Each structure stands twice: as C-alpha cells, then as structure tokens.
C-alpha cells in the first residue's frame, strides 16, 4: 500500500526513507485521518518531508500523483457515502433528492468511479465532467479531483483549489533565485561558512571538571575557537545585464561582512584582465593592476566570482578580445593566474544551470576554474559553493 | 485525547494534525517557522490542553546533549571528599537529573520542549538519536538504564540557523508553521483581545499586512509583534480613524516601534511613505 506513491516521491528526488513510509502506514492504521485527501496530504507532508524547502516539490509531486485519483485507495467505498448524504441534504432540491434516493448511493459511487476512470485529464474549470454543483450526482462530494466546491463546510474542504495546488511554499524552495525573501536564509548559510575552520583554545571549565574527575591530576581540555577565520576575495562582474544580480549579491556579502575576517571586493567587466577596480564610479580613473591584487592577498583567501560568464568567446580566449580596451593577454590567462593564486575558488552564476551548456564562454571559463566550481546563484547553489570552498 | 487548540492558542488544521500524529505515534515533533509564530508557545498549550506536565529544555550554544540526561557533579564530590563529608560514599548524590531523566521518570505522560535546537553544536541532535528513538539511556555512574515509564511527547523547535542531520530528521515528524493568513490572524487576535473594537481590529490588521508587504524590510513584523502593538494601541486608546488616515502626513503607523524593530526598517518605511506622498 502506498508503495507507488512512495516511489513516485523518490523519483521526484524527495529524500524519503522506508522508515518514514512505515510511520505513515502506522498513522493510517491508527486512523489519524479518514478518507479526506486534504488530511492525507497534511499527514503525509508532516511525516515524510522534513524541510520546508522541499514543501513545494512535495506539493507538485503530490499533485501529479493524485491527479485524477479521488480518494485514498481502500477508503473510497467507506467515506464519501455519509458525506454525499450530508451534502445532499444540504444542497439538493427535493426533486434531486428523490432522484438520488432512487439511484441509491451505491449506484452513485459506482458511476462516479466509472466516470473518474474515463476521465484522463484534469479540468481546471471542472464543468465538463463533474461540478455543475448539485445537479449532477458527482458534484455533491466536493471531493473530486477538480476540487469543485459545493459550498459551506460540506466535506471540510475549505477551498476549491487543492492545498497542494496553491504552491504557497514556493518561496521556501531553495532552488529559486536569491531575492529579498530568502536573502536572510542565504546570509545564515554564509555565516555558517564563515565560522568554520579555526584553531582550538583552552576550555577552562572543561579543564576544571576534568581535573576534578581525575582526582586532582591536571587534565587539559581544548575546544574549537569560535572566531571567524574566513577571508574572502569577491570579484563582481558589473556594467551589463547582470547589475541587479550583482547588487543583490554584493549586499548579501556585505551583510555578512562582520562574519568574515576579511572581505575584499573588486569589479571587472565580463572577464578579468590586467586591471580591476574597487569603485564603480571612478572605474576608468582608479584601476588596480591585477598583479598587485595577486601579490597582496595570501593563498589562504578564498576566491568568489559573481557573473554570468556570458560573452563572446574572443573575450575569454584571445588577446585584444575585450570589448572595452586592448588587452595584451587573453582573459583565460588572467583567470588562470587568479585561480593559481587562490586555489579555493568558486564562480556564482545568476544564469540558470540548464542554460550553461548553450553558451561557449561559460564552458571556456569552467574549463579554467574547474567544471565543478561554477554554481548557480540560488540558495542551494550558494550552499554548494560554500561547501566546496570549505573543503 | 486530541489536541484542537486552546482558548488562548489558535491552531490551524495542519498543525493540530501534526500534533495529533505525534501524540498517537509517539514520535518527536519538529516545529519550524518564522520567529514569533508561536513555536515555543505550542508546547505549553499542548501540555495545558492535554493536561500533561511540561518539561522545558532551552538550548544554548554551549548546551550539550548529556545535560538533558544527567550531569555528574565531580567538583562537589571532590570537595566533599576533602572535607570528609559522609555523603561522598554514595555517588547518586552527585548525579543531577536532566530534563529528559525527569520526563522519563514522570508517573504520567508528559510533554518535553526542546527549544531552539539549532542553537546548539552540530553534534547535539546526533547525540540524542537513541534517546529519542528508544526513550532510554544508560547512566554509567549508577550502572543503571533509565527507561521512560511513559513515552513523553517531545516537541522540538528550530529557527533554521543550522541544518539538522538526516538521521535525526528521520526520527521526527516535521511541521512548518507558515505565517497566518488574514482570517487566521483575526481569530488569533480575537483570542487575545476579546473586547477589541471591531473597527480598530480591521484597520490594524490592514496596516499590519500592508507593512509586511513593504519590500526590503530586514525584519518583518510577526504575530507576537502584532499582539504587542495592539496592546499598545489599546493602552493609548488610539481611535481607528488614525490608522485609516493613509494619505495624511503621518503615514507611519502610530507606535510603530512595536512593529519595526530596527532603525533601517523605520528609515526605509519613512522614505517609502514620503515617496508615496509626493506621488499623490
């Protein structure tokens, strides 16, 4: 029972385990919910999904699976009967009720099932098959896949649109772009990254307790120091279509600035060449030679690029390819120098990951920095980038 | 024994279902949600509604899992031994019972709140796996296994500051309290202020939800802040008309300090108000 459902969730890359499936079956056996698909949805979400970032994916998977299925397997014979009766009493006219009486609920159910079997597609309006609200025998339950509502509290479904179809947890999905809503979460993940990797310090309380336990012999205890030790160099691509994303990203990192031991940012346009700049308004006046940057910051810095990496291949691969000036050496040589100077590097790309293969310059840049070093600028991508940086 | 919310706590259908599932199947329930949506309060209300004693364990960044079980006070024992106190012979005098021990030994089913589990070290949840699963642990000093007389209902809250390990999550049920919609919010407010003037409530809720829509706020006001603000409005006896005066020169809601908790947000809001005034 429910194995198909379980496997369907698995195939949608939801991390569900057998243990959780058993818990769900246990809950059904304990009759925690009876028959209502809405309740079953809530219950299965509580028991199977352990992260609100996965709620949206679960909603979609649930909708896919239960598209066209009207009630829980095994429950359909048991539940709608009384509900139909209830609904009928509330909403049907005398004549309709008489007709229904004649037909009998058993018969109604049978027909309903037949019709459901015939019905392949979900109808948004729900007017074709089911749902003229009270005249067809199949509108009463308010319980069919279209979610046709009969009104009032007939079956406990408050809304016509199914809960899982509302997709209200879309914002919490961590594969969408960084925005105002999830920037906080992103910040938290950055902070976690910033706090990692420090030396140890003497744990005084631990030492006293350990010494006492030892009967007076000194027992030194050490614990990880809680200082922030991460140093970051941020290279931002400005002056193009990416400006919005760059701003979001810059804000993000400056908000986390307190958490980093050092955070330096530099700007470039499209690709890095012999000079970068620190102030966008005076970019043509105050250029910093890239060599100076390479010589200034030690190899313990981590290098993060932000940019779409989308340009003409000449801008990466040829001397003189830059759109702004004559560059003596090609962009990929400069990129390689940066990556050599700071081996722990990541590139955050605001473009969606599935477009990367269509832009040759992205491939060229990935060839230089490493194929697994480019990440999409989403919460999930940010997290992967941070994880790869702290390795 | 079913939890349906209480006279002072409005629980939505999904929340009650999650709580009842945790009660019926005796699994821990992990609660997440925006700050101020009543995560911690839930445990108190469940305990009250089901008439069970509540044991609270507030987790800090230095909390160790062992502290919830028991602590061996070696320092006192060392001191007593040097002073020749006869109590030193019996080690059980120096075993301090933690929250879980108390709950396990409780004569009736109880509720245990593990508050803000994400504040602790990353190993903290891992150290509690067996305890939460089997509801038992071993006390090495006493050579004794403490087993729960009744499996307590364990409610765990998290603010998402750290990710919790998979093995831990597998053992819990999970519920995310989403921010209440207008309808639910109205019920929540009515529970707290039964005598609130209907008009004032309507205006206040409108201002509140408008405020939440302002883009770029660092900290959006939450339910608990709304309740505080209403308290202030009542205490100051602000008439509803003041709230309605949207185009007036004081577009900032009165007593906004209860809703906006940082300077930048207030500043941002003032600027937006100024801009909208100029437009009109």
How far is it, in rounded angstroms, from Cα A317 to Cα A330? 5
Least confident of A133-147, A371-385, B92-106: A133-147
- In this prediction, residue A330 carries a pLDDT of 87
Partners of B33 in the beta sheet?
A: B177
Q: In this structure, how many other beta carbons lie within 10 angstroms of the beta carbon of residue B13?
A: 15
The answer to whether the Cβ–Cβ distance between B173 and A33 falls below 8 Å is no
**Lowest mean pLDDT, pick from A13-17, A40-44, A111-115:** A111-115
Tell me which residue in A23, A32, A45 faces B20 most closely, judged by beta carbons. Answer: A32
Residues of B in contact with A47 (CB under 8 A): 21, 173
**Partner-chain residue, chosen from B27, B75, B216, that has the shortest CB–CB distance to A209:** B75
Q: What is the pLDDT of residue B247?
A: 52
Contact B13 A42 (CB under 8 A): yes
Per-residue pLDDT, A183: 58
Asked whether the beta carbons of B69 and B137 are under 8 A apart, the reply is yes
CB contact under 8 A, B18 and A46: yes
| Local confidence band at B245 (pLDDT 50, 70, 90 cut-offs) | low
Q: Which of B32, B74, B175 minimises the CB distance to A213? A: B74
Q: Is the pLDDT of residue A312 over 90?
A: no
Considering only residues A101 and A49, tell me which one the structure prediction assigns the higher pLDDT.
A49
Backbone torsions φ then ψ of A375, nearest 5 degrees: -130, 145
**Contacting A residues, span 315-374, partner chain B, CB-CB under 8 Å:** none
Q: Which of A46, A190, A256 to mutate to test the interface with B (most CBs of B within 10 A)?
A: A46
> pLDDT over 90 for what percent of chain B?
25
State the Cα–Cα distance between residues A133 and A147, nearest whole angstrom. Answer: 11
Report CB contact under 8 Å: B174, A32.
Answer: no
**Given CB atoms, is A218 within the 8 Å cutoff of chain B?**
no
Beta bridge partners of B157: B31
A260 to each of A59, A294, B99, B116, B121, how far by Cα in Å?
A: 37, 20, 37, 25, 20
* Model pLDDT, residue B225: 86
Cα–Cα distance between B148 and B156 in angstroms, integer?
18
Residue pLDDT, tens place only, A251-296: 777 666 666 777 788 888 888 888 888 776 656 667 888 888 888 8
CB contact under 8 A, A52 and B176: yes
Set of chain A residues whose Cβ sits within 8 Å of the Cβ of B27: 23
Q: Any CB–CB contact under 8 A between B77 and chain A?
A: yes
Whether residue A120 is predicted with pLDDT greater than 70 in this model: the reply is no
The residue of chain A nearest to residue B27, with distances taken between CA atoms, is A23
| Residue among A52, A55, A208 whose CB faces B75 most closely | A208
Cα separation, A163 vs A60, whole angstroms: 11
| B35 pLDDT more than 50 | yes
Question: With a CB-CB cutoff of 8 Å, which residues 159-178 of chain B face chain A?
Answer: 160-162, 164, 166, 169-170, 172-176, 178
For residue B154, the model assigns a pLDDT of 94
What's the pLDDT at A139? 41
Model pLDDT, residue A140: 40
Res A193: pLDDT = 61
Position B153 scores a pLDDT of 93
For B54-75, the pLDDT digits (tens) are: 999 999 888 888 999 999 888 8
Cβ contact (<8 Å) for B17 and A32? yes
Of B25, B30, B216, the CB nearest to A180: B216
Contacts of A30 in chain B (CB under 8 A): 24-25
Looking at per-residue confidence, does B103 or A239 come out higher?
A: B103
* Interface membership of B32 toward A (CB under 8 Å): yes
The pLDDT confidence band at residue A91, using thresholds 50, 70 and 90, is very low
For chain B, positions 42-71, list CB contacts with chain A under 8 A: none
pLDDT tens-place string over residues B107-152: 999 999 999 998 888 788 888 988 888 899 999 888 999 999 999 9
Q: Could you read off the pLDDT of A141-200 as tens digits, one per residue?
A: 433 333 333 333 333 333 334 566 666 666 555 555 555 445 556 666 666 665 554 456
Contacts of residue B65, Cβ cutoff 8 Å, sequence gap at least 6: B120, B123, B124, B127, B128, B131
Q: What is the pLDDT of residue B130?
A: 87
Q: What whole-number percentage of chain B has pLDDT above 70? A: 95
Instruction: Give the β-pairing of A287-289 and A275-277.
Output: antiparallel
pLDDT on residue A108: 53
- Tell me the chain B residues in contact with residue A20 when contact means C-beta distances shorter than 8 Å: 170
Whether A110 and chain B come into contact, CB under 8 Å, resolves to no
Distance (Å) from the C-alpha of residue B189 to the closest C-alpha of chain A? Answer: 21
Least confident range of A125-129, A161-165, A331-335, B275-279 = A125-129
Confidence of residue A63 (pLDDT cuts 50, 70, 90): confident
Shortest CA gap B25–chain A (Å): 7
Can you tell me the distance from the alpha carbon of A305 to that of A250, in angstroms, rounded to the nearest whole number?
A: 11
Mean pLDDT for chain A? 70
Cβ B177 vs Cβ B31: under 8 Å:
yes
Would you say residue A212 has pLDDT above 90?
Answer: no
Query: Which domains are assigned to chain A?
Result: 1-173 (no CATH), 183-195+230-389 (3.40.50), 200-228 (no CATH)
| Residue A215 to residue B175, Cβ atoms within 8 A | no
Q: Does B97 touch chain A (CB under 8 A)?
A: no
Query: What's the pLDDT score for residue A168?
Result: 64
* A126, pLDDT greater than 60: no
Decide which of B210 and B152 is more confident.
B152
- Residue B156: its pLDDT value, please? 94
Nearest to A30 among B25, B169, B175 (CB): B25
A216 touches chain B (CB under 8 A): yes
3-state secondary structure chain A: CCHHHHHHHHHCCCCCCHHHHHHHHHHHHCCCCCCCHHHHHHHHHHHHCCCHHHHHHHHHHHHHHHCCCCCCCCCCCCCHHHHHHHHHHHHCCHHHHHHHHHHCHHHHHHHHHHHHHHCCCCCCCCCCCCCCCCCCCCCCCCCCCCCCCCCCCCCCCCCCCCHHHCCCCHHHCCCCECCCCCHHHHHHHHHHHHCCCCCEEECHHHHHHHHHHCCCCCCCCEEECCCCCCEEEEEEECCCCCHHHHHHHHHHHHHCHHHCCEEEEEEEECECCCEEECCHHHCCCCEEEHHHHHHHCCCCCEEEEECCCCCCHHHHHCCCCCCCCCCCCCHHHHHHHHHHHCCCEEEEECCCHHHHHHCHHHHHHHHHHCHHHEEECEHHHHHHHHHHHCC
Per-residue confidence (pLDDT) for residue A379, from 0 to 100: 77
Return the percentage of chain A with pLDDT > 70, whole number. 57
Task: Show which of residues 219-278 on chain B sit within 8 Å of chain A, judged by CB atoms.
Answer: none
Contacts 24+ apart (CB under 8 A), B219-222: B219/B260, B219/B261, B219/B262, B219/B265, B220/B34, B221/B259, B221/B260, B221/B261, B222/B34, B222/B35, B222/B36, B222/B37, B222/B179
Q: Does the beta-carbon distance from B24 to A55 stay under 8 Å? A: no
- Chain B neighbors of A192, CB-CB under 8 A: 161-162
Q: At what angle do helices A204-213 and B74-83 cross, to 10 degrees?
A: 50
* Partners of A288 in the β-ladder: A276
Nearest-angstrom CA–CA distance, B46 and B41: 9
Confidence of residue A223 (pLDDT cuts 50, 70, 90): confident
Residue in A180, A208, A215 closest to B215 by CB: A180
**Is the model's pLDDT at A4 over the cut of 70?**
yes
> Closest residue of A to B180, CA-based?
A168
What integer is the mean pLDDT of A341-370? 86
Q: Residue range B20-42: average pLDDT?
A: 88
Average pLDDT over residues A38-61: 86
């Amino acid at each position: 029972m429910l194995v198909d459902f379980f496997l369907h969730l698995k195939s949608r890359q939801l991390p569900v385990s057998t243990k959780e499936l058993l818990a769900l079956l246990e809950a059904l056996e304990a009759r925690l919910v009876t028959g209502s698909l809405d309740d079953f949805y809530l219950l299965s979400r509580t028991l199977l999904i352990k992260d609100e970032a996965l709620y949206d994916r679960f909603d979609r998977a649930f909708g896919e699976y239960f598209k066209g299925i009207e009630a829980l397997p095994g429950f359909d014979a048991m539940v709608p009967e009384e509900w139909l009766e209830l609904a009928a009493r509330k909403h049907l006219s005398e004549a309709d009720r008489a007709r229904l009486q004649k037909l009998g609920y058993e018969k109604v159910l049978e027909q309903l099932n037949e019709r459901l079997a015939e019905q392949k597609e979900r109808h948004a309006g729900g007017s074709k098959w089911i749902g003229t609200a009270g005249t067809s025998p199949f509108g009463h339950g308010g319980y069919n896949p279209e979610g046709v509502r009969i009104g009032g509290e007939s079956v406990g479904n408050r809304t016509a649109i199914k809960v899982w179809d509302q997709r209200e947890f879309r914002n919490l999905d961590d594969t969408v772009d960084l925005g105002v809503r999830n920037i906080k979460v992103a910040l938290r993940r950055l902070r976690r990254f910033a706090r990692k990797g420090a030396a140890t310090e003497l744990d005084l309380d631990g030492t006293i307790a350990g010494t006492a336990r030892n009967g007076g012999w000194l027992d030194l205890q050490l614990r990880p120091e809680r200082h922030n030790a991460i140093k970051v160099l941020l290279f931002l691509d400005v002056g193009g279509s990416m400006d919005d994303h760059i701003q979001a990203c810059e804000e993000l990192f400056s908000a986390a600035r307190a958490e980093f031991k050092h955070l330096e940012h530099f700007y470039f346009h499209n690709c890095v060449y012999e000079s970068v700049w620190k102030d966008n308004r005076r970019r043509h006046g105050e250029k910093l030679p890239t060599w100076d940057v390479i010589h200034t910051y030690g190899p313990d810095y981590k290098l993060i690029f932000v940019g779409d990496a989308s340009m003409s291949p000449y801008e990466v691969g040829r001397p003189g390819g830059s759109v702004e000036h004559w560059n003596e050496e090609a962009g990929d040589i400069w990129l390689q120098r940066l990556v050599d100077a700071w081996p722990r590097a990541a590139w955050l790309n605001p473009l969606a990951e599935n477009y990367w293969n269509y832009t040759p310059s992205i491939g060229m840049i990935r060839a230089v920095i490493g194929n697994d070093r480019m990440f999409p600028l989403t919460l999930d991508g940010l997290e992967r980038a941070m994880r790869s940086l702290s390795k | 024994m079913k939890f349906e919310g209480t006279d002072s706590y409005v629980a939505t259908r999904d929340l009650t279902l999650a709580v009842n599932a945790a009660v019926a199947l005796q699994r821990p329930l992990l609660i997440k949600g925006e700050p101020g949506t009543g995560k911690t309060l839930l445990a108190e209300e469940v305990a009250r509604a089901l008439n069970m004693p509540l044991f609270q364990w507030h987790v800090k960044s230095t909390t160790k899992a062992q502290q919830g079980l028991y602590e061996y006070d070696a320092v006192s024992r060392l001191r007593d031994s040097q002073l020749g106190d006869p109590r030193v012979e019996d080690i059980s005098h120096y075993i301090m019972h933690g929250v879980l021990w108390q709950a396990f030994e409780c004569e009736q089913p109880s509720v245990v709140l593990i508050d803000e589990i994400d504040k602790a070290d990353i190993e903290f949840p891992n150290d509690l796996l067996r305890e939460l699963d089997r509801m038992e642990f071993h006390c090495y000093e006493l050579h004794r296994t403490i087993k729960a007389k009744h499996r307590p209902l364990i409610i765990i809250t998290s603010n998402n500051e750290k990710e919790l390990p998979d093995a831990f999550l597998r053992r819990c049920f999970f519920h995310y309290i989403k921010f209440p919609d207008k309808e639910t919010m109205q019920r929540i407010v009515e529970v707290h202020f039964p005598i609130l003037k209907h008009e004032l409530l309507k205006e206040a809720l409108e201002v509140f939800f408008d405020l939440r829509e302002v883009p770029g706020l660092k900290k959006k006001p939450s339910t608990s802040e709304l309740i505080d603000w209403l308290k202030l409005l009542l205490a100051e006896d602000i008439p509803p008309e003041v709230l309605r005066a949207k185009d007036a020169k004081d577009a900032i809601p009165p007593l906004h300090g209860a809703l906006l908790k940082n300077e930048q947000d207030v500043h941002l809001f003032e600027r937006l108000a100024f801009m909208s005034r100029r437009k009109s």
